[in-house]
Amino acid sequence: MTMISKDVLEKDNSARESALRQDYDHLGEQLARRSIAIDEVKARVSAYGVAVPSWGVGTGGTRFARFPGAGEPRHIFDKLEDCGVIQQLTRATPAVSLHIPWDKDDPKALLAKAEELGLTFDAMNSNTFQDQDGQEKSYKFGSLSHTDAATRAQAVEHNLECIEIGKAIGSKALTIWIGDGSNFPGQANFTRQFERYLGAAKQIYAALPGDWRLFTEHKMYEPAFYSTVVQDWGTNYMIAQELGDQAYCLVDLGHHAPNVNIEMIVARLIQFGKLGGFHFNDSKYGDDDLDTGSIDPYRLFLVFNELVDAETRRAPGFNPAHMLDQSHNVTDPIESLMVSAMEVQRAYAQALLVDRKALEGFQESNDALMATGTLKTAFRTDVEPILAMARLEQGAAIDPVATYRASGYRAKVAGIRPAVSGAGGGIV
């Protein structure tokens, strides 16, 4: 089943193919001068995928307001269809990451729908930062680190349920992000709180299937505004060490203090065998959850420079999971996710172009100017022809946004899915 008609796709592609081939050929010549085989780069880009979060296809919001768009998905099956569009047009997003309980449904139906759309399921995400109807204990004052043992038990139980659902749909990882922390100095005892967290996390870890990985995610602040239990990569690393070999640290690009060198954190976690993967997005201020690469594309490239460096020197146990995690407040989420997946591929392709042998030489001789110039040469290469050709050859769109708009998909689902009211936000 394809969400976008092949006619629309082919028509749009055929109008762009000739220029693409010219650009691809010329870029091939340029890269050949640098001793790079363009087809090899294209092959690696084609093989590269980033997971889409199920919640990403709905319009996001802030504590002040949410302004839904037309055709908001009603449930996980609508969400999967939207994800199917993204994968069909980009061939960059083969997997979907579910959030429980938001996406809870019959595993068989989920699997069938995914198969129909050519999708698989990535890491499972638990939710202990919100209260749900019918839930006995409230997470107002924390979940896995709550002072109350019964609340911690409820949160552990929920994570175990996520693992069970994941097993039924072929997932191989659980991602835990909690909002636990405090809003006032003294509200929580940092040490006791972290001890409780570790105790609860160990219970979850104990239930992890042998071929699964556990990802824990750090975040500096929000929703807690004075302290957060898993506040930075240092604490996250402690957790991964305490839990064991299947536990890894997840890096969300928007979860750090101002000015922090994120690519260095990535390098450290790789070096010590604890990089689990990424939540890609971009940010200017806090956890803005903006589209990947939209604010600082060079930083994204520098992160990928570390990843390709680790690939190149075959860092032991290096196998990071890649997922987008964004909040689309003012764009069509499908468009933002397509563009963001392509930005991730772009950064990867650029990082593949780095002349690593030359770079190593400049580093050894402390030729800072030429070393950084080596990165810049790769970064400023316009690799769009490589990405587009990879898409074309896989039956996807040369220009996914143009094809998507031409297809009228949004209007079509808006006719089926009811309009959603956006009044209100969390603040009132």
Query: Binders of a second copy among 267-286, rule CB under 8 A?
Result: 267-268, 270-272, 283-286
Residue with tokens 């190593």: 360
Q: Coil, strand or helix: which one is 238?
A: helix
Stretch that binds a second copy, among 6-14, 22-30, 86-94, 163-171 (CB under 8 A): 22-30
Residues 107-166 that bind a second copy (CB under 8 A): 129-133, 138-141, 147
Q: Are 217 and 177 in contact (CB under 8 A)?
A: yes
The footprint of a second copy on this chain (CB under 8 A) covers a number of residues equal to 127
Residues 320-379 that bind a second copy (CB under 8 A): 327, 329-332, 335-336, 339, 346, 359-360, 362-366, 368-376, 379
Stretch that binds a second copy, among 104-112, 115-123, 389-397, 420-428 (CB under 8 A): 420-428
Q: How far apart are CB 401 and a second copy at their closest, in Å?
A: 7
CB atoms within 10 A of CB 96: 30
- What are 302's two structure tokens? 């520098």
Q: Does 265 bind a second copy (CB under 8 A)?
A: yes
| Phi, psi of 223, deg, nearest 5 | -85, -10
Residues 211-250 that bind a second copy (CB under 8 A): 220-223, 225-227, 231-235, 237-238
Q: How far apart are CB 375 and a second copy at their closest, in Å?
A: 4
Nearest CA-CA partner of 298 in 260, 355, 346, 251:
346
Q: Does 416 bind a second copy (CB under 8 A)?
A: no
Residue with tokens 């990071």: 320
Q: Does 201 bind a second copy (CB under 8 A)?
A: no
Query: H or E segment at 176?
Result: strand 173-176
Residues 6+ apart with CB under 8 A from 428: none
- Of positions 3, 48, 50, 60, contacts a second copy by CB under 8 A: 60
CA distance 388 to 280: 21
191, with CB counted inside 10 A (0-12, 13-18, 19+), is exposed
Q: Does 319 bind a second copy (CB under 8 A)?
A: no
- Of positions 71, 179, 276, 320, contacts a second copy by CB under 8 A: 179
Residue with tokens 């009228």: 408
Q: Does 391 bind a second copy (CB under 8 A)?
A: no
Q: How far apart are CB 219 and a second copy at their closest, in Å?
A: 11
Q: How far apart are CB 220 and a second copy at their closest, in Å?
A: 7
CA distance 69 to 333: 9
Q: Does 258 bind a second copy (CB under 8 A)?
A: yes
Stretch that binds a second copy, among 27-35, 104-112, 157-165, 202-210 (CB under 8 A): 27-35
Residue 146 has, within 13 A of its CA and on its CB side, a CA count of 20
Q: Which is nearer to a second copy, 8 or 221 (CB)?
A: 221
| DSSP secondary structure code for residue 56 in this structure | G
Q: Does 101 bind a second copy (CB under 8 A)?
A: no
Nearest CA-CA partner of 325 in 18, 51, 43:
51
Q: Which is nearer to a second copy, 140 or 211 (CB)?
A: 140
Distances (CA, A) of 370 to 28, 34, 98, 364: 24, 15, 44, 11
Residues 287-316 that bind a second copy (CB under 8 A): 288-291, 294-299, 302, 305-306, 309
Residue with tokens 């996520």: 162
Sign of CA dihedral 28, 33, 37, 41: negative
Q: How far apart are CB 397 and a second copy at their closest, in Å?
A: 15
- Of positions 6, 75, 192, 412, contacts a second copy by CB under 8 A: 192
- Of positions 186, 210, 415, 418, contacts a second copy by CB under 8 A: 186
